[in-house]
Amino acid sequence: MRNGFKETDEIKGRHLDWRLFRRFLTLVVPYRRSAWGALLLLPLIAATKLVQPYLLKVAIDEHIVPGRLEGLSGVALLFFLALGAESLLIFSQGYLVQAVGQRIMAALRRRGFRHMLRLPVAFFDRHPSGRLVTRLTSDVENIGELFGAGVVAALGDIVTLVLIVAVMLWMNPRLSLVAFAVLPFLIVLLLLFRRSMRGAMRQVRARLAGLNAFVAERIAGVTEVRIFGQQQRTLDEFDELQQLYKQSTLRTINWDAALYAVVEALGAVAMAAILWRGGGEVIAGVATFGTLVAFIEYVQKFFAPLRDLSAKYSVIQASNASLERIFELLDEDPEPGGASARWRGDASVSFEKVSFSYDGQTEVLREVSLNIAAGETLALVGDTGSGKTTLARLLMRFYDPVGGRILFGGVELADLDPAELRKRIGWVSQEPFLFAGSIRENLDPEGRLDDGMLAAVLERTGVWATVEGLGGLDVRLYERGRNLSAGERQLLCLARALASEPQLLILDEATSRLDAATEEVVNRGLAAAGRERSVLLIAHRLRSAQRAARILVMRKGRICEQGSHDELLAVNGIYARLWQLQNLELNVDRAVVDVSGQAQSPV
């Protein structure tokens, strides 16, 4: 499929087994008092339902048919009291099960989100954000419904069925056997429906996740959609995904409606059989008219839970698919931690023959070795795809190397807790990202710095005037900082990195979106900041790298040259050729500007 979102999230598993169901029950344990209260109300609700047909039998056989009106009002009062008690008990039970369901959803959503935040970056490389949102929203809602609209409601129907069977057998075994004659057919049909409905529900969940993933991706890239005139293609792909989702949903509706219709038809057959056999017994004097009326009521109440069970079956199947998906998420291994190794206090970095591959086949890094001394500024330059950003990701332990080892402060990264490691690293990526909220919250999410300290950081990065113009530190930023220019976003991200006073600063094309004047201001600030900490500078523009103490040139996952700016120019190798090429491009750009300026100047 063109968009790549077709059913790639569908889980191929088996029915809901006891292992899954036991895991679900652990979600109920914290709310067991309310759950037990709801369960204990089930037999009371069933009793209030069952007493009503029996009261009808008493009214007909003992008062209406004989013509004795004495006591009929008492029977009628008992009937209405039973109706009132049934309504009150159903309300109480409904409140309890819905409260438990909502609490399960809130706890599971929090647990899933907390676990998701601990997953390795590689997990998010494989799973689009729209699919993950689906798991924490609609899948969690389905699981919440499993307790109230699924398990408890099904148990209530089963309790009602058992009591109805007992009462009917007590009243008239022969008529009971006539009514129950259709049950074997119903059981066979349920078994036939089971597999088809389970597969349909799984497909619905998978296609909904694909649809959400597509929408999330296109919203994030709406500018590119418009720039390249892809509105119609995007709409066509959306319609295709929506059509697949609609087909899956209609399939589940068809199976659900068919099962409901089958139960309704079998109930009508049972009712006709009761009328035929029961009517004959009344005429023959074997059974009373009240018994026949009561049996008709009981048969209706017997097949009503069966119809409900058919509806509950679809709810349970939808919940089954959601349980599989949520538990699959929770079973994902979190980001590996490390022992609390003693931190030595410096910010030296050492890569020792480090190799890495994203897919396990193509090597991105091949036995790379490098050292950054505490307080040193090291620049990485090279072609796109040479492995520069990958080195930074390994250093922040977003991924672990497949060969070699990395040391920070003399301690191997595998022995350090990733959270503690990242507190000592400031990072500015080539794609600046800001959260919706105030500038203050973005720069200092833990609230450790006062206004003066934040202003000093903003002054150092040359963005304080911009922040003052916007309204100060408390001005609100839109999602991803869209009310700022790309350069302003990058400057704020740089200020955020410096605000945490990191021991190591990683700048991945941190000035790529800045004009020359602003870049010069930032470079002076970085030069001052670099005296206090180690700096790893990843750059495509060599003007940004030339001030580094050492420059490493990477190509195809290896370090092919290293030295200072002047040393590398003297070697006249790859770096020198890149420098000459960029200078040539810069001179051409200046010439174009000069010619343009002359053309527009007055004569």
Confirm if 347 and 533 have CB atoms less than 8 A apart.
Answer: yes
Strand partners, 536: 378, 506
Pick the CATH number of 18-330 from 1.20.1560.10, 3.30.70.270, 1.10.3080.10, 3.30.70.20: 1.20.1560.10
**Closest to 156 measured CA to CA, from 4, 274, 41, 30:** 41
Give long-range contacts, CB 8 A cutoff, 24+ apart: 430-434. 430/389, 430/508, 430/509, 430/510, 430/512, 432/481, 432/486, 432/489, 432/490, 432/492, 432/493, 432/513, 433/480, 433/481, 433/489, 433/493, 434/477, 434/480, 434/481, 434/484, 434/489, 434/492, 434/493
What is the structure's pLDDT at 2?
Answer: 47
The tens digit of pLDDT for each residue in 143-171 reads 888 877 777 887 888 888 888 888 888 88
Reply yes or no on whether the pLDDT at 593 is more than 50: no
What is the structure's pLDDT at 369?
Answer: 92
What is the structure's pLDDT at 205?
Answer: 72
The residue among 379 and 432 whose pLDDT is bigger is 379
3-state SS of the chain: helix, strand, coil percent to 5?
Answer: 65, 10, 25
505 φ/ψ angles, rounded to the nearest 5 degrees: -115, 125
The tens digit of pLDDT for each residue in 30-82 reads 998 998 998 899 889 888 988 888 888 888 888 888 878 788 888 889 989 99
**Least confident segment among 123-127, 242-246, 368-372, 594-598:** 594-598
The mean per-residue pLDDT over the stretch 274-290 comes to: 79
What is the structure's pLDDT at 228?
Answer: 65
Reply yes or no on whether the pLDDT at 330 is more than 70: yes
Residues for the chain: how many in total?
603
What are the extents of the domains in the chain? 18-330, 349-572
Reply yes or no on whether the pLDDT at 410 is more than 90: no
The reply to whether CATH 3.40.50.300 applies to domain 349-572 is yes
Q: Which amino acid is residue 548, in one-letter code?
A: A
The mean per-residue pLDDT over the stretch 586-601 comes to: 48
The residue among 595 and 53 whose pLDDT is bigger is 53
What is the structure's pLDDT at 321?
Answer: 75
Write down the residue that tokens 């090291």 correspond to: 378
How far is Cα 343 from Cα 297, in angstroms, rounded to an integer? 78
Q: What is the pTM of this model?
A: 0.73
The residue among 354 and 360 whose pLDDT is bigger is 354
Q: In the chain, what is the straight-line distance between the N-terminal and C-terminal CA atoms, in Å?
A: 61
What is the structure's pLDDT at 77?
Answer: 92
Reply yes or no on whether the pLDDT at 85 is more than 80: yes
**Closest to 438 measured CA to CA, from 477, 466, 495:** 477
How far is Cα 186 from Cα 509, in angstroms, rounded to an integer? 68
How far is Cα 602 from Cα 36, in angstroms, rounded to an integer? 89
The mean per-residue pLDDT over the stretch 74-100 comes to: 90
The tens digit of pLDDT for each residue in 437-458 reads 888 888 888 888 888 888 888 8
Confidence of residue 560 (pLDDT cuts 50, 70, 90): very high
Geometric angle at alpha carbon 224, from 219 and 228, rounded to 5°: 130
What is the structure's pLDDT at 602?
Answer: 42
The tens digit of pLDDT for each residue in 333-358 reads 888 765 555 566 678 899 999 999 98
**Closest to 271 measured CA to CA, from 295, 307, 287:** 295
3 state SS of 356: strand
How far is Cα 550 from Cα 377, in angstroms, rounded to an integer? 7
Q: What percentage of residues in the chain have a pLDDT greater than 70? A: 85
How far is Cα 391 from Cα 506, in angstroms, rounded to an integer? 10
How far is Cα 173 from Cα 163, in angstroms, rounded to an integer? 14
Q: What percentage of residues in the chain have a pLDDT greater than 90? A: 11
Strand partners, 551: 379, 563
| Mean of all residue pLDDT scores within the chain | 80
The mean per-residue pLDDT over the stretch 189-203 comes to: 71
What is the structure's pLDDT at 586?
Answer: 54
Reply yes or no on whether the pLDDT at 256 is more than 50: yes
Q: Which amino acid is residue 562, in one-letter code?
A: Q
What is the structure's pLDDT at 195?
Answer: 65
Confidence of residue 600 (pLDDT cuts 50, 70, 90): very low
Please count the CA atoms within 13 angstroms of the CA of 153 that sit on its side-chain side: 25
Q: How many CB atoms lie within 10 A of CB 347?
A: 22
Confirm if 590 and 583 have CB atoms less than 8 A apart.
Answer: no
